[in-house]
C-alpha cells in the first residue's frame, strides 16, 4: 500500500520534472494585452501564427491598464512579463523612466521598415484605433455633422452631445474645431484648446469615462452625437442601431509593443516583437476585429480586401483624413501639465 503510493508519487514527480524540462527546452515569453475580444482576435490573427513560426510558447496574461503593473514589476527588479501591448504613451513614458528596454532595430527588420511616426526607440505600433465623430442617423438622416467645427456648431446641428472625460483626443478635436489643420496640431496650443472647450461645455450632456459607456449612450439614443472610438461605434451599428461615424478629422491612436526592462526572456521577446508586426500577421488582425494594423505595409499584402480596408482607421486614405496623435507630446512636460489641467476644467 505504502509502496504503491510512494511509487505513484514518484512517477508523478518524475512526470512533472520531465514536463518542466520539456517546456523549458522550448523558448517562451509572457505576452500581455488588454483582454476581451481584442486579445482573442490577436491570438487567432497574430499570436498563434507567430508561436508556430518561431517555435516558441507564448504565455498570455491580460490587464486593462498595464502601467501600474509595469512600474511595480520593473521596480521589484524581477519582472515576470516580457512583452506588453499598451497605449503607446506608456511605452514612451516607461522608456524615459528606465522601465522599458531600448530596442535594437537591427534585430527588428519588420519594425525598422515601418515609417518613423509609427515607432519610437522603445516601441513599435501594434494596432490603430481612432477617436471619431459619431452621430445618430435618426437625428441626422442627411447632412450629418462631418467635422469638429460642426460638432461645435450647436445652431446648425442641435442635439445632445458627449465627449470623453479625458484630454487625449479631446484637446485635438477642440483645436481642429477652432480651425487648426490636422497635421499642424503639435505642439498643442493648450490655452486655445481649453478656451474652445469652454465654449462647448454647457452643451455637453455627458463626459464619458469608459468605451462601454460611450457605446451605451449612442445605442440608447441618449446623445445625438459624440466622440467615440471607431470600434465601439461600428459594434453598436452592427447591433442594428442607426448610428454612423466619419473618419474625417478623427484622431488616430495606437497601442504599441514594448519590452519590460530586465525581461526574463529578452532575446526571445525581441524575436517575437519582430514577428508580431510582420505585415501578413498584422493584416490578419482586422479580419477578426475592427482595429487597423499597426504596420501600414499590411495593406500591401492583399490579405485585407479593399472594401474591408476602407473601414479601417489606419488604411492610408482614411489615415490621410485624420490627425496622428503625438504620444511624444503627451508624455512631454507640456502634455502632462495639460492632463492635470483637465481636472480643474471639468470641476469648474
Partner 1 sequence: MLVLVSPALLVILALIVLPVGWLAWQSIYHDGFTLENYRRVFTEDIYWRSFALTFEISLAVTVIALLLGYPVAYLANSVPKGWSILILSLVVLPFWTSVLVRAYAWLALLQRTGVINQFLRYLDVISEPLALVHNTFGTVVATVHILLPFMVLPLYATMQKIPGDLMQAGASLGASPSLTFLRVFLPLSLPGVLAGCTMVFVLCLGFYITPELLGGGRTVMVSMLVSRNVELYNQFGAASAVAVVLLLSVLAIFFIVSRFISLDRVLGQK
Kindly list the residues in this chain that would bind partner 1 in the complex (CB under 8 A): 67-68, 71, 160, 165, 205-209, 213, 216, 220-222, 339-340, 343-344, 346-347
Of the pair 86, 110, the CB lying nearest partner 1 is at 86
Please, are residues 295 and 119 in contact by the beta-carbon 8 Å criterion? no
The nearest distance, CB 207 to partner 1, in angstroms, is 3
Nearer to partner 1, 160 or 297 (CB): 160
Query: Nearest distance from residue 173's CB to partner 1, in Å?
Result: 16
Q: Is the dihedral of CA 322, 328, 330, 332 positive or negative?
A: negative
Q: State the minimum distance, in angstroms, from the CB of residue 142 to partner 1.
A: 22
Task: Please calculate the CA angle 23-24-29 and round it to the nearest 5 degrees.
Answer: 90
Please give the Cα distance from 169 to 160 (Å, whole number).
Answer: 20
- Closest CB to partner 1 among 2 and 344? 344
Least separation in angstroms between residue 147's CB and partner 1 is 24
Is 96 or 191 the residue whose CB approaches partner 1 more closely? 96
Between 199 and 222, whose beta carbon lies closer to partner 1? 222
Contact indicator for 144, 137 with CB cutoff of 8 Å: yes
CB of 167 to partner 1, least distance (A): 11
- Region of residue 323 (phi > 0: left; psi between -120 and 50: alpha; otherwise: beta): beta
Least spacing, CB of residue 343 vs partner 1, in Å: 5
Query: Minimum distance from CB of 216 to partner 1 (Å)?
Result: 8
- The nearer residue to partner 1, 70 or 325, going by C-beta atoms, is 70
Q: Residue 72 Cβ, how far from partner 1 at the closest point, in Å?
A: 10
Shortest gap between Cβ of 344 and partner 1 (angstroms)? 5
Between 71 and 288, CB nearer to partner 1: 71
Write the CA distances from 226 to 185, 196, 231, 296, 341, integer angstroms: 21, 16, 14, 28, 22
Pairing of strands 123-136, 243-259: antiparallel
Residue (247 or 330) nearer to partner 1, CB? 330
238 versus 340: smaller Cβ distance to partner 1 = 340
Amino acid at each position: 500500500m505504502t509502496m504503491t503510493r510512494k511509487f505513484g508519487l514518484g512517477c508523478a514527480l518524475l512526470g512533472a520534472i520531465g514536463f518542466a524540462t520539456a517546456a523549458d527546452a522550448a523558448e517562451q515569453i509572457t505576452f500581455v494585452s488588454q483582454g476581451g475580444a481584442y486579445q482573442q482576435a490577436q491570438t487567432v490573427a497574430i499570436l498563434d501564427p507567430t508561436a508556430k513560426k518561431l517555435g516558441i510558447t507564448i504565455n498570455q496574461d491580460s490587464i486593462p491598464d498595464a502601467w501600474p503593473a509595469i512600474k511595480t514589476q520593473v521596480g521589484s527588479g524581477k519582472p515576470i512579463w516580457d512583452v506588453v501591448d499598451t497605449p503607446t504613451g506608456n511605452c514612451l513614458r516607461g522608456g524615459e523612466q528606465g522601465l522599458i528596454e531600448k530596442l535594437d532595430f537591427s534585430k527588428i527588420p519588420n519594425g525598422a521598415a515601418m515609417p518613423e511616426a509609427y515607432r519610437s526607440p522603445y516601441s513599435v505600433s501594434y494596432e490603430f484605433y481612432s477617436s471619431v465623430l459619431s452621430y445618430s442617423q435618426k437625428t441626422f438622416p442627411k447632412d450629418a455633422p462631418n467635422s469638429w467645427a460642426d460638432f461645435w456648431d450647436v445652431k446648425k446641428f442641435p442635439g445632445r452631445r458627449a465627449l470623453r472625460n479625458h484630454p487625449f483626443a479631446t484637446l485635438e478635436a477642440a483645436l481642429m474645431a477652432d480651425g487648426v489643420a490636422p497635421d499642424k496640431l503639435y505642439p498643442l496650443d493648450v490655452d486655445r484648446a481649453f478656451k474652445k472647450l469652454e465654449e462647448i461645455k454647457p452643451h455637453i450632456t455627458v463626459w464619458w469615462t469608459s468605451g462601454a459607456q460611450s457605446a451605451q449612450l449612442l445605442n440608447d439614443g441618449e446623445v445625438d452625437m459624440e466622440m467615440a472610438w471607431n470600434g465601439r461605434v461600428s459594434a453598436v451599428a452592427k447591433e442594428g442601431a442607426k448610428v454612423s461615424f466619419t473618419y474625417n478629422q478623427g484622431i488616430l491612436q495606437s497601442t504599441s509593443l514594448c519590452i519590460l526592462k530586465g525581461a526574463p526572456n529578452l532575446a526571445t521577446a525581441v524575436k517575437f516583437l519582430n514577428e508580431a508586426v510582420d505585415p501578413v500577421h498584422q493584416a490578419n488582425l482586422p479580419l477578426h476585429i475592427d482595429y487597423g494594423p499597426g504596420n501600414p505595409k499590411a495593406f500591401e499584402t492583399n490579405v485585407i480586401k479593399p472594401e474591408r480596408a476602407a473601414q479601417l482607421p489606419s488604411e492610408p486614405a482614411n489615415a490621410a483624413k485624420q490627425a496622428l496623435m503625438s504620444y511624444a507630446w503627451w508624455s512631454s512636460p507640456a502634455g502632462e501639465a495639460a492632463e492635470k489641467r483637465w481636472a480643474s476644467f471639468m470641476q469648474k
